[in-house]
Amino acid sequence: MRFVYYIAAIGNGGLDRKLEILSKNLNYLYNNLKEKFDIVVNCYNSYNEIETFLQRFDFLNLKLFHQKAGILTELFLTNPHNASLGNYDYILFMLDDVEIQHMDLRGMIHVKEKFKIEVFSPKVISSTHAFMNTYDSAFLTINNAIEVYCLLLRYKDFVKFLSMHTIENKWMWGADFLFGHLNIKAGVCYKYTVVHKLLPSKQKLHKNANALADAYLKKKKFFGSVKNINPYVQIINLKTGEKQTVSTTKDDASIGVGMNFSIGQSGSKTMINKSDLKDKHYVQPSYVPAVSTLPITENSLVKTMGQLKSNPVPAPAPAPAPAPSQARAPSQARAQTQVRAPSQARAQTQVRPSARARPSARARPPASALALVSHKLAPHKLGPHKLAQHKPAPRTLSNTLSNNINNLNKMTDFKTKGASPLPPKAKINKFTISNLMG
């Protein structure tokens, strides 16, 4: 296989550490490929030192250098050796502060060719954006956005990659988010890993990077906001073959990633952090294990309590009692229990539960505060026949809510069988309800 290692830019500013990283990467690739390969180096200074350093690697065939003062695109877009790289099967485009952690180059090539990915990146630990290291090793993502750290390219892909950049936008800011916009198929395979070892330097030149990026985006006819771009197009499970297509923008996305989206790892399974559920763009993918149902807590009632304060719900009016002289048949007595308020139903102890019939829609008492809360926060509704099983209590909104929040909590399904329905700190009690009601 004809393979070339391409360094985008290298020079002083932690040069010793950069050369140490370069040495590790070259030895790693040689041990993986078991054959010699070539290298292209773009030097913005320290040319002699870098050239002398590379002489020690006898498994490097050609060593092609381009020396020019400048930053990133000012170097690699002007390299005269670019035109000759069509002789290579694959090009590994690397930044000088990226270290290979796990890479099977032939395995990467197989995935790249199988899914026809043009710009192909491994997972990047310590990347600027979390979407470069979101998933575990079972996943491949097709992306609208990719940070440029380590890219595996064919020559035609390399030419297309170079064409999306400009010399003026030398820091490459903004270009990371335009792969989808420019119809370049990009992807990240999380089975293979590199590490971004050095933090970006805080040079004064960085201060104009935003202005350069804005001008670049306009030149590429992108007039939206990169913050609204969903980094993912498709998520693929390489083990099961399952695929999920994702919308281009976050507002319509079926998986909301955002700039701060992260998924923790537990063993070999991908688990979503509960904190990520706060992201309004987030919807759980079908192949990710479900997060357990959250209990009803004090915070979940605050909004409803505010509504009840501003619009109090009247207590149900008791049904008129029959005249003493009026005789009723047993069936009529049973019908009478259907229209009684909860307190009256509790007093009717001589009627067995089996004799109680469900009230008709016309005969039901007005909605209570309990019915409002249970309908809003839980799939269960407690009717008068359930309330009859509880001890009588003074008819106040606070007590009604307090008594029946316990029922809602008990009916919530949790993963651990036999465990307490709610953690102690999450339970609701009458003092909590009283405080909320003011």
At 250-269, the pLDDT tens digits run 643 333 333 222 222 322 22
60-80 residues labelled b (16+ CB within 10 A) or e (exposed): beeebbbbeebbbbbbbbebe
Q: Which residue has the higher pLDDT, 133 or 437?
A: 133
- Residue 51 predicted with pLDDT over 80: yes
**Mean pLDDT, range 172-200, rounded to an integer:** 93
- Residue 46 predicted with pLDDT over 60: yes
Structure tokens at 63: 């060593």
Give the pLDDT score at 285: 34
Distance, in Å, from the CA atom of 20 to the CA atom of 99, rounded to the nearest integer, reads 9
- Residue 248 predicted with pLDDT over 60: yes
- Residue 401 predicted with pLDDT over 90: no
Q: Which of 213-227, 244-258, 374-388 has the lowest mean pLDDT?
A: 374-388
**Mean pLDDT, range 1-26, rounded to an integer:** 96
Q: Which residue has the higher pLDDT, 386 or 249?
A: 249
pLDDT bracket for residue 150 (50, 70, 90): very high
Q: Which residue has the higher pLDDT, 248 or 77?
A: 77
Distance, in Å, from the CA atom of 196 to the CA atom of 26, rounded to the nearest integer, reads 16
Q: Which residue has the higher pLDDT, 192 or 414?
A: 192
- Residue 392 predicted with pLDDT over 70: no
Give the pLDDT score at 224: 86
Give the pLDDT score at 406: 57
Give the pLDDT score at 161: 98
- Residue 303 predicted with pLDDT over 60: no
**Mean pLDDT, range 4-12, rounded to an integer:** 97
pLDDT bracket for residue 234 (50, 70, 90): very high
Amino acid occupying residue 384: P
Give the pLDDT score at 203: 53
Give the pLDDT score at 198: 81
**Mean pLDDT, range 66-77, rounded to an integer:** 96
Give the pLDDT score at 301: 44
Give the pLDDT score at 436: 45
Q: Which of 7-11, 369-373, 401-405 has the lowest mean pLDDT?
A: 369-373
Q: Which of 124-138, 232-246, 303-317 has the lowest mean pLDDT?
A: 303-317
Q: Which of 17-21, 160-164, 316-320 has the lowest mean pLDDT?
A: 316-320
- Residue 156 predicted with pLDDT over 70: yes
Domains of the chain and any CATH numbers? 3-278 (3.90.550), 298-320+331-437 (no CATH)
Average pLDDT of the chain, as a whole number: 72
Give the pLDDT score at 297: 43
Q: Which residue has the higher pLDDT, 370 or 232?
A: 232
**Mean pLDDT, range 24-45, rounded to an integer:** 97
pLDDT bracket for residue 214 (50, 70, 90): very high
pLDDT bracket for residue 247 (50, 70, 90): confident
For residue 42, give Cα distances in angstroms to 6, 67, 68, 404.
Answer: 8, 6, 8, 71
- Residue 340 predicted with pLDDT over 60: no
Whether 84 and 2 have beta carbons less than 8 Å apart is answered as no
Give the pLDDT score at 81: 97
